[in-house]
């Protein structure tokens, strides 16, 4: 189990409530949805970044997240409820027994307190860095359930709340302990209410990737909110997902590596570029088309951007792409176009768009400037998201692919993963 950026964990292990981080944060961007349809737009035939040519695409339908001078912020009002399932597998939608509410001190149950405190960190990140008030943008109560099932090796978002298993002590330990895991799951709630990326094939891999990206950036931000802004800090970061809870008896591995996809553990199947993209069946055994596998490609692109621009700018670009450009059926190329266009919207003629373009080029994807979604498209996307929430997603899974945690399919696990266990 790697160490990673987990300095704040020591405080959480003792059940100490985590303070909000306020110092040195840039003013969060304005994120209002567009009030009118986007103006007529014709994409430029070629992007010449760094030039002084005029760019009509900055007339976006949504307000740009313009970078501004640093200032101290007052966090929004977080509202959390944290439950225990008492190691039972509860029916969908059931939360269990409430243990800790907003304003209450540590309960003494480590898994519950980790879930509760980490949810507060994630809330502060979205509020302070991205100006989003909870998962739905409207102050939604953050509900978490710990101790789900007996030795349950996963964590998941079910459309209403986060659920965390305790792990089996062999492959995983308690999932609520890892801030990047909590950030990953909560970001699924944001995705579900914005881009609504379908959980299959390339849209599903983007769904998983956006959660990995935000989960990792949240962990980095909490460890050092000022260093997080710099490329140098990002270059030194480990970019590992779940390193704190994965294979507790084995040091140095993780569930995923964003810096070097395919190297997180022995037999890690993630590709790092399109030349190694894996075409898998859209079935449960096929990980719904490889949503946890091919996510390595956009993960690598995000890591490359962060090491050039810093974590704060990367978070703002990825968030604007998710809220203003992506839709349920978006493919990898759409994600490249969305992040490139978001970077130009935010930072105009600065080096940021070139850094995004270079990152996608490095993983084998070309990008071009595109128009943000119109108000009509945003409204339609919201209706689709609401319908999906109402009916539930039959493909929804956890942060861990099924074949890695399901005893009936562990024979398909990468060679060497369970060696010596």
Look at residues 180, 408, 413 and name the one whose alpha carbon lies nearest to residue 311.
Answer: 180
5: region left, alpha or beta (phi > 0 left; psi from -120 to 50 alpha): beta
- Terminus-to-terminus CA distance in the chain, angstroms? 14
- Give the start-end residues of each E strand in 147-248: 155-157, 162-164, 240-241
Phi and psi dihedrals of 97, rounded to 5?
-100, 125
- Three-point CA angle 279, 281, 282, nearest 5°: 115
369 backbone dihedrals φ, ψ, rounded to 5°: -75, 135
Q: How far apart are CA 123 and CA 80, in angstroms?
A: 10
Q: Which of 148, 71, 73 is nearest to 111 (CA)?
A: 148
Q: Which residues contact 394 (CB under 8 A, 6 or more apart)?
A: none
Active site residue ranges: 185, 292
């Amino acid at each position: 189990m790697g160490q990673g950026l987990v300095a704040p964990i020591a405080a959480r292990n003792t059940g100490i409530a985590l303070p909000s981080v306020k110092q040195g944060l840039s003013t969060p961007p304005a994120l209002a949805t567009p009030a009118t349809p986007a103006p007529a737009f014709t994409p430029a035939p070629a992007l010449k970044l760094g030039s002084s040519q005029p760019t009509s695409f900055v007339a976006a339908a949504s307000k740009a997240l313009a970078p501004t001078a640093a200032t101290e912020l007052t966090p929004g009002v977080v509202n959390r409820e944290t439950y225990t399932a008492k190691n039972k597998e509860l029916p969908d939608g059931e939360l269990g027994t409430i243990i800790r509410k907003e304003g209450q001190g540590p309960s003494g149950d480590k898994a519950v307190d980790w879930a509760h405190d980490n949810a507060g960190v994630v809330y502060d990140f979205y509020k302070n860095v991205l100006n989003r008030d909870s998962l739905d943008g409207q102050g939604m109560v953050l509900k978490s359930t710990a101790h789900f099932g007996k030795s349950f090796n996963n964590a998941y978002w079910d459309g209403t709340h986060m659920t965390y298993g305790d792990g089996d002590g062999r492959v995983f330990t308690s999932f609520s302990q890892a801030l990047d895991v909590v950030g990953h799951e909560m970001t699924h709630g944001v995705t579900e209410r914005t881009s609504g990326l379908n959980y299959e094939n390339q849209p599903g891999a983007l769904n998983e990737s956006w959660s990995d990206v935000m989960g990792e950036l949240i962990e980095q931000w909490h460890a050092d909110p000022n260093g997080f802004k710099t490329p140098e800090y990002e270059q030194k970061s480990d970019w590992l997902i779940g390193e704190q809870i994965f294979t507790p008896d084995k040091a140095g591995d993780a569930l995923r590596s964003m810096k070097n996809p395919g190297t997180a553990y022995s037999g890690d199947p993630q590709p790092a570029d399109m030349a190694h993209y894996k075409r898998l069946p859209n079935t449960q055994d096929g990980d719904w088309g490889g949503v946890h596998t091919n996510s390595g490609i956009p993960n690598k692109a995000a890591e490359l951007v962060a090491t050039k621009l810093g974590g704060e700018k990367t978070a703002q670009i990825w968030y604007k792409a998710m809220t203003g450009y992506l839709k349920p059926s978006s493919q990898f190329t759409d994600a490249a176009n969305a992040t490139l266009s978001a970077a130009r919207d935010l930072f105009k003629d600065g080096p940021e768009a070139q850094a995004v373009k270079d990152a996608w080029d490095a993983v084998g994807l070309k990008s071009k400037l595109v128009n943000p979604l119109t108000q009509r498209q945003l409204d339609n996307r919201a209706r689709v998201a609401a319908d999906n929430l109402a009916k539930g997603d039959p493909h929804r899974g956890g942060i861990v692919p099924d074949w890695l945690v399901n005893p009936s399919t562990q024979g398909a696990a990468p060679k060497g993963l369970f060696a010596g266990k």
